[in-house]
């Protein structure tokens, strides 16, 4: 028998102790007593009472959230593109958003997170350079009831399940296949032009979890081409300047290279500069690929300097993580299979760069996504992830990286895979994916 609300049975919300008691029971993090009363219209009071009585689907949340984006660095175009997506989503949700430059320093990011605690920030989107501080940040998030999600750099085999509810999601593109796909395009171009030859790799930050999986994808792809070999690699630290120096060093060691695998588009840009300075012609003599699908990457493809990039679209990362924070702040709770997720990159070449440039670069101020429709709170029935989004396979994500002594798979993760939840989530997200990731902006008239 369903429960019904009768206003005659409502608690006395003019009584301070009653308000405090209900705020403790309800999902009201970030809502002060004054805020609670200010939003206490008849419908809001009814919703609060319904939740207190056990009627599902109702939550009370702050009408204006305070969010921070802790960036890995401002030296990468990727992080700046990602901030555009995060800011667009925050604006759509009526949120205030602040940013901080981590300068590739995990300890600095930990200090920045502690500053957000002091500033009463309610949600943090973390773009970590590595796993150095993620455990402590996740612990502080749980202790202070700050919603947290993270992307890219992390501590392999440390999951949101190990941290508590407030570490709501770790999400990255599925990089093994993505970087393998663009590496194969370089190998195919080399075979067609030269019949084989040497390539070199310029990587990111040594030990970074994303760098490791991209290298694994690259190496697996190269193995398919016996006449193509990896002659050497050096770290480019995800930025143009260090990558140019690394490429100059590699050229001095291997002057006969015919391919370069850059671990991101900023890295590829630095490599291209070094190649041109050495009298080599990127796109003609030497084939170069990047990763991420930044504005710069797309422009280099259009110009013929970059052969391909795996376009995961940084604006999407910012939009996705901001939307998750908005939803959990407003009472939605993810299933286990939704707490670690991948999205699908697109191999971008001259054949499909035009729609990317139209939507993500030359957009004349048009928003990239229908941010509100990404939200399960605002669109409970017709939400749309606006990309291929699916549960993460942590064995693929961190395969080849030794597990910590005594480590075991989180019970929630195992259960979701064994009881069919992960498969159901994959299908559900596929069914809801309607707005094409590489199509025109959904906000275009």
With 0-12 / 13-18 / 19 or more C-beta atoms within 10 angstroms meaning exposed / middle / buried, residue 328 is: buried
Q: How many domains does the chain have?
A: 3
Whether 354 is in a domain gets the answer no
DSSP state of 282: B
Q: What is the CATH number of the domain that holds 251?
A: 3.40.50.2300
pLDDT score at 65: 82
Angle at 65 between CA 63 and CA 69, to 5 degrees: 160
Do residues 28 and 137 both lie within one domain? no
Do residues 302 and 189 both lie within one domain? yes
Do residues 133 and 187 both lie within one domain? no
Is the pLDDT score of 346 beyond 70?
yes
307-341 pLDDT, tens digit each: 999 999 999 999 999 999 999 999 999 999 999 99
pLDDT, mean of residues 260-285 = 97
Do residues 77 and 140 both lie within one domain? yes
Query: Does residue 366 contact residue 441 with C-beta atoms inside 8 Å?
Result: yes
pLDDT score at 445: 72
Rounded Cα distance between 434 and 79, Å, is 26
Do residues 116 and 181 both lie within one domain? no
Do residues 392 and 422 both lie within one domain? yes
Do residues 42 and 96 both lie within one domain? no
| Long-range contact set of residues 111-115: C-beta below 8 Å, sequence gap at least 24 | 112/68, 112/70, 113/70, 113/137, 113/140, 113/141, 114/140
pLDDT higher for 206 or 149? 149
Tokens of 281: 């012609």
Do residues 343 and 377 both lie within one domain? yes
348-380 pLDDT, tens digit each: 999 999 999 999 999 999 999 999 999 999 999
Rounded Cα distance between 393 and 86, Å, is 25
Torsion, CA 35, CA 24, CA 324, CA 143, rounded to 10: 110
The number of angstroms, rounded, from the C-alpha of 253 to the middle of its chain's C-alpha atoms is 36
Do residues 217 and 299 both lie within one domain? yes
pLDDT score at 18: 55
Which region among 20-24, 109-113, 219-223 has the lowest average model confidence (pLDDT)? 20-24
18-43 pLDDT, tens digit each: 555 544 444 443 444 444 443 343 33
Query: Does residue 133 contact residue 212 with C-beta atoms inside 8 Å?
Result: no
pLDDT score at 20: 55
Do residues 259 and 300 both lie within one domain? yes
Whether 154 is in a domain gets the answer yes
Q: How far is CA 349 from CA 9, 191, 256, 356, in A?
A: 64, 18, 25, 10
Whether 355 is in a domain gets the answer no
Whether 60 is in a domain gets the answer no
Mean confidence (pLDDT) of the chain = 89
Q: Is the alpha carbon torsion for 230, 231, 236, 237 positive or negative?
A: positive
Is the pLDDT score of 68 beyond 90?
yes
Stated as kind and residue range, the H or E segment containing 150 is strand 147-152
Whether 18 is in a domain gets the answer yes
Residue with tokens 């009526």: 94
Query: Does residue 275 contact residue 43 with C-beta atoms inside 8 Å?
Result: no
Do residues 182 and 243 both lie within one domain? yes
SS3 string, 165-214, reads: CCEEEEEEECHHHHHHHHHHHHHHHHHHHHCCEEEEEEECCCCCHHHHHH
Whether 442 is in a domain gets the answer no
pLDDT score at 391: 98
Give per-residue burial for 77-110: e unless 16+ CB within 10 Å, then b. bbbbbbbbbbbbbbebbebebebbbbebbbebbb
pLDDT score at 55: 38
| pLDDT band at residue 207 under the 50/70/90 scheme | confident
The candidate with the shortest Cα–Cα distance to 173, out of 434, 378, 410, 396, is: 396
pLDDT, mean of residues 201-212 = 92
Torsion, CA 382, CA 388, CA 390, CA 393, rounded to 10: 180
Whether 331 is in a domain gets the answer yes
The radius of gyration of the chain's CA atoms, rounded to the nearest angstrom, is 24
Write the CB contacts of 307 (distance below 8 Å, at least 6 apart in sequence).
182, 185, 186, 189, 283, 287, 288, 289, 301, 349
Residues facing 69 on adjacent strands: 99, 125
Do residues 145 and 186 both lie within one domain? no
| Long-range contact set of residues 441-444: C-beta below 8 Å, sequence gap at least 24 | 441/359, 441/363, 441/366, 441/367, 441/368, 441/369, 442/369, 442/370, 442/373, 442/386, 443/366, 443/367, 443/369, 443/370, 444/366
| pLDDT band at residue 419 under the 50/70/90 scheme | very high
pLDDT score at 400: 83
The range of the structural domain enclosing residue 227 comes to: 176-311
Residue 423: CB atoms within 10 A of its CB come to 14
Residue 126: CB atoms within 10 A of its CB come to 28
Whether 440 is in a domain gets the answer no
């Amino acid at each position: 028998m369903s429960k019904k609300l009768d206003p005659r049975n409502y608690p006395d919300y003019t009584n301070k102790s009653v308000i405090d008691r209900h705020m403790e029971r309800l999902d009201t993090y970030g809502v002060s007593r004054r805020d609670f009363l200010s939003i206490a219209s008849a419908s809001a009071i009814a919703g609060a009472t319904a939740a207190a009585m056990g009627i599902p689907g109702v939550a009370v949340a702050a009408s204006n959230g305070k969010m921070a984006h802790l960036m890995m660095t401002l030296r990468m175009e990727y992080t700046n593109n990602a901030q555009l997506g995060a800011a667009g989503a925050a604006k759509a949700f009526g949120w205030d958003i602040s940013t901080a430059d981590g300068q590739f320093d995990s300890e600095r990011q930990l200090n920045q997170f502690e500053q957000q605690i002091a500033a009463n920030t309610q949600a943090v989107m973390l773009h970590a350079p590595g796993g150095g501080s993620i455990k402590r940040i996740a612990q502080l998030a749980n202790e202070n009831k700050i919603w947290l999600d993270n992307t890219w750099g992390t501590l392999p085999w440390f999951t949101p399940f190990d941290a508590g509810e407030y570490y709501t999601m770790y999400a990255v593109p599925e990089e093994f296949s993505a970087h393998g796909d663009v590496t194969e395009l370089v190998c195919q171009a080399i075979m067609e032009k030269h019949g084989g030859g040497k390539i070199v790799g310029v990587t990111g930050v040594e030990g970074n979890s994303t760098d490791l999986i991209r290298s694994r994808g690259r190496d697996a792809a190269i193995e398919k081409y016996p006449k193509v070999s990896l002659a050497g690699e050096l770290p480019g630290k995800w930025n143009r300047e260090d990558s140019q120096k690394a490429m100059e060093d590699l050229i001095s060691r291997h002057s006969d290279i015919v391919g370069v695998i850059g671990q991101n588009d900023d890295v590829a840009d630095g490599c291209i500069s070094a190649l041109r300075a050495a009298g080599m012609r990127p796109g003609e003599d030497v084939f170069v690929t990047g990763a991420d699908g930044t504005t710069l990457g797309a422009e280099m493809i259009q110009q013929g300097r970059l052969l391909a990039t795996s376009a995961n679209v940084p604006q999407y990362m910012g939009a996705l993580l901001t939307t998750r924070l908005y939803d959990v702040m407003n009472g939605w709770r993810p299933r286990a299979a939704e707490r670690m997720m991948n999205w699908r990159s697109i191999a971008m070449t001259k054949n499909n760069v035009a729609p990317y440039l139209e939507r993500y670069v030359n957009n004349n101020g048009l928003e990239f996504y229908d941010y509100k429709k990404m939200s399960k709170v605002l669109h409970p029935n017709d939400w749309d992830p606006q990309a291929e989004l699916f549960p993460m396979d942590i064995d693929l994500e961190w395969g080849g990286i030794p597990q910590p002594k005594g480590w075991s798979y989180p019970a929630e993760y195992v259960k979701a895979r064994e009881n069919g939840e992960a498969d159901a989530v994959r299908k559900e997200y596929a069914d809801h994916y309607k707005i094409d990731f590489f199509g025109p902006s959904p906000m275009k008239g």
